[in-house]
Amino acid sequence: MDAKFVSEKLEKYNNKNQEYKAGKAIHFDIPKPVFKIRYSSETDIIERVIYQSLVEGITGQI
């Protein structure tokens, strides 16, 4: 992933006291063995980057 792309997407939140609003997720079911179904939500790549950054920030303090 290009760092410039991520930087541009996050620019509107950088050094501003603006509330983050998540985008819409796409929901679908994934078939699993023995007729089971796993629910899945797919989000935009920027949503994943923000989530991973928050998790790393929290777990790095533990």
pTM of the entire structure? 0.48
> Regarding predicted confidence, which is higher, 12 or 58?
58
Q: How many structural domains comprise the chain?
A: 1
Planar angle of CA 38, 43, 59, nearest 5 degrees = 90
Give the C-alpha distances (Å, rounded to integers) separating 28 from 18, 42, 52, 60.
31, 8, 22, 32
Residue 46 lies in a domain: yes
Q: Is residue 15 part of a domain?
A: no
Domain presence at residue 47 = yes
CB-based contacts of 38, cutoff 8 Å, min separation 6: 29, 30, 32
Instruction: Quote the pLDDT of residue 18.
Output: 67
Residue 1 has pLDDT above 60, yes or no: no
Let me know if residue 49 belongs to a domain. yes
Residue 17 in any domain: the answer is no
Does residue 55 surpass a pLDDT of 80? Answer: yes
In a domain, 31, yes or no: yes
Residues 61, 50: contact at Cβ < 8 Å? no
Q: Which domain holds residue 53?
A: 3-10+22-59
List beta partners, residue 26.
42
Per-residue model confidence as pLDDT tens digits over 35-54: 899 988 888 877 888 788 77
| pLDDT tens figures, 7-31 | 777 776 676 666 777 778 889 999 9
